[in-house]
Amino acid sequence: MNQLRELTLASASPRRAELLTQIGVEFTKRPVDLDESALPAERPSELVMRLAGAKAKAAAKLLQSTNNVILASDTIVVLDDEALGKPVDFAHARQMLSSLSGRSHQVLTAISVKDASRQKTVCVATDVHFATLSDEDIEQYWATGEPADKAGAYGIQGIAGQFVRSIGGSYSAVVGLPLYETVQLLKEFEVIK
Ligand SMILES: Cc1cn([C@H]2C[C@H](O)[C@@H](COP(=O)(O)OP(=O)(O)OP(=O)(O)O)O2)c(=O)[nH]c1=O
């Protein structure tokens, strides 16, 4: 792709890099590490937008050049208004996966694009309907290692694809980077035409 401005991806997630590469966008990586805990009374959509925005700002501070456009993202799973992040251990993953079993939840992914003069953040919501999971399914799934670094303790793009009965919304948003909205923002910031 013929890019007009340099893009920096403020993410350590291999999925986000793969998704951007999939659509032919070139970038360099500048991951940042933030405290991802929610503020008191913060709604899930506010949390995910605040974190995506903060990741972009933190990466901007670390960069030498002010010409770069920065893209950052954050994903959480929401069930009954509660935000589920990454599991800290098996007990936590088991609790999350059994609460997701046999019902629908939402995945919220916010993307934030920033340059020296402005920043724009948007949030994308996707509905995911899970199959019923047995205790054995959950134990076996944890043992694969896949849930450990993923919001809600699952990866739709991996083994957990078989747990997903249906999805309403953006598949790429569930994986971590909504491609349609990303391209719209990259055009707005004149990274691509
Ligand atoms: C629900 C779901 C989440 N995920 C991932 C996307 C995100 O990488 C991760 C949620 O954690 P995030 O905090 O959004 O991202 P990250 O820590 O992996 O990367 P960075 O902050 O450096 O950008 O969960 C999947 O890969 N598949 C899924 O189906």
pLDDT at 71: 98
Q: pLDDT truncated to tens, each residue of the chain (193 aa)? A: 778 899 999 999 999 999 999 999 999 999 999 999 999 999 999 999 999 999 999 999 998 877 889 999 999 999 999 999 999 999 999 999 999 999 999 999 999 999 999 999 999 999 999 999 999 999 999 999 999 999 999 999 999 999 999 999 999 999 999 999 999 999 999 999 9
Interface ipTM > 0.90: yes
User: Would the CB of 36 count as within 6 Å of ligand 1?
Assistant: yes
User: What separation in Å is there between the alpha carbon of 116 and the centre of ligand 1?
Assistant: 26
Reported in sequence order, the residue ranges of 26-170 that DSSP labels E, i.e. its strands, are: 28-29, 69-79, 82-84, 104-114, 119-130, 164-168
Going from the C-alpha of 103 to that of each of 14, 45, 133, 152, 164, the distances in angstroms are: 28, 20, 10, 14, 10
Q: List the chain domain ranges.
A: 7-188
Please check whether residue 75 is in contact with residue 109, taking contact to mean a CB–CB distance below 8 angstroms.
yes
Atom of ligand 1 nearest to the CA of 77: 1
Please check whether residue 71 is in contact with residue 55, taking contact to mean a CB–CB distance below 8 angstroms.
no
Tokens, residue 133: 């999971």
Sign of CA dihedral 180, 182, 183, 187: positive
What is the fold of 7-188?
A: Maf protein (3.90.950)
User: Would the CB of 174 count as within 6 Å of ligand 1?
Assistant: yes
Active site residue 115: no
Q: What is the pTM of this model?
A: 0.96
